[in-house]
Structure 1
C-alpha cells in the first residue's frame, strides 16, 4: 500500500492533532528503519496505522478484545492501551493489511514486549520520540536513539514506568518484561 493511500485511509479516524502526530511517527520510524537497516516500507505502514483505533469508543474496543481473545489482560491496565491490539485487528480486517510483522508492531507500540523485533522497537520508539512530543526526558531519548536503538527503548520504557508509578497507575506486565529483556540482553 502506498503512503498517500494509507494516509487517506487513516486520516478520517484521527483528530488533526493526532494526524500530525502520526506524520511525525511515520517520518521518525522511516529514519530509524533506515538507520537500523530494516524494511522502511513496513516501518512506514505500521507507523501510519499505529493509532488507527485511538478514537474508537472504549466500550467497542473492550468488547472486541473479549470477543476476539485479543488479550483480556489489556482490560485491566487502563483504556489508553486498548487501541493497540484493537488497531492491529481492525487494520487487518478493515484495511486488509495482513503482514504479521506490521500488525505486531501496531499491537505492541504502546506496551512493548519481551524480545521485540527491530521493527517493533522502531515503531514503539518512533511513537515515543516523534518531534511533536514534549515531556521530561524525551530529548535525551532522541539523542540516544540515533546511536543505540536498544538503549533508547530501555530509556523510554524506564521513563514510562516511572511516570505511571508516580501517578499510582498499574504498569502493564509486558512493559516491565520488555525492559527486563533489553537489560538482560545488554549485559550479555
Structure 2
C-alpha cells in the first residue's frame, strides 16, 4: 500500500506547474484512475503516476540536459535534438529522489509516458493513454482514441502510436526509436495472438 499525503502533493504540484499543466495533470490522474478500474490495475498507483507523470515537464531544456549528465543518464541523438523528451526520464528520477516514490511500476509509467516502448506494464500503458486522452485534450481523433482506450488497451496504444507518428511526420519532426519499437512490438503481439 502506498502512503501519500495527496493534499500536500497536490499543493506542491500546483506550486511547481503552470495552471494549464496542473489542470492537465489532474485530468491525467482522473483518467488513469478510470482506466485502472477498467483494467484491474492498482488505482492508487494509477492516481499517483498520473499526478507525477509531468513532474519535470516544465524544466528548461538546458536543465533537462544538465540533469541527464548529473544523473548519468544516457541521452540519445533524438533526445539531444528534442530535450523535452527527457522530461519523462528525468521526472522518474526526481520523483524518486524528491517524492520518495520507490514503486517500479509507477516509475516505469512515468519514464515511458512520452515515447512508449516495448514490454510496457499495464500501468505504463494506462498513463501513456491517459496523458493522450484526458478531458482537456482536443484534437481530431481524440474521441476515437478515448473509445478505444475503454475497449482494448493494446489497440488504443497502437492508435495512439499511429496518431503520434503521423503528427510528428506532419511537423517534419524526429520520431523517437522507442515509439517505433513500442508500435512494432504491439503489432507483433497482435500477429502472435
TM over 0.5, shorter chain: yes
- Indicate which of 171, 184, 189 corresponds to 1:185: 189
Kept in 2: contact 1:77–1:172 (CA 8 A): no
CA-based RMSD of the aligned residues comes to: 1.2
Q: How many residues align?
A: 188
Residues 77 and 171, structure 1, Cα contact 8 Å, conserved in 2: no
Cα distance change of structure 1 residues 45 and 78 upon mapping to structure 2, 3 Å threshold: same
Distance 2:96 2:136 in 1: 28
| Counterpart pick for 1:129 among 133, 156, 159 | 133
8 A contact 2:64–2:84 mirrored in 1: no
Q: Could you tell me which runs of 5 or more consecutive residues in structure 1 were left unpaired when the two chains were aligned.
A: none
Q: Cα distance, 1:7 vs. partner?
A: 1.3
Which of the numbers 2, 23, 26 marks the counterpart of 1:23? Answer: 26
How big is the shift at 1:99? 1.2
Q: 1:111 corresponds to which residue?
A: 115
**For the Cα contact (< 8 Å) 2:45–2:106, is it kept in 1?**
yes
TM score, norm. by length of structure 1: 0.95
Give the aligned partner of residue 156 of structure 1: 160
| 1:3 to 2:6 alignment | yes
4+ residue segments displaced more than 3 Å: none
Decide whether the 8 Å contact of 1:25 with 1:123 is kept in 2.
yes
Q: What's the CA shift string for 1:132-169, capped at 9, x where partnerless?
A: 00011111100111110110011001100111011111
| CA distances 1:108-153 after superposition (whole Å, capped 9, x unpaired) | 1000011110000000000000010001111110011111011001
Tell me the equivalent position of 1:71: 74
How far the C-alpha of 1:3 sits from its partner, in A, is 2.8
Shift of 1:5: 2.8
Q: Select 1:43's aligned residue among 42, 46, 62.
A: 46
Any residues of structure 2 matched to 1:88-103 within 5 Å, and which?
88-103=92-107
In 2, are the aligned partners of 1:3 and 1:44 still within 8 Å (CA)? no
Displacement of 1:77: 4.5
Task: List alignment gaps of at least 5 residues for structure 2.
Answer: none
Distance 2:62 2:25 in 1: 24
User: Match of 1:132, SS?
Assistant: coil
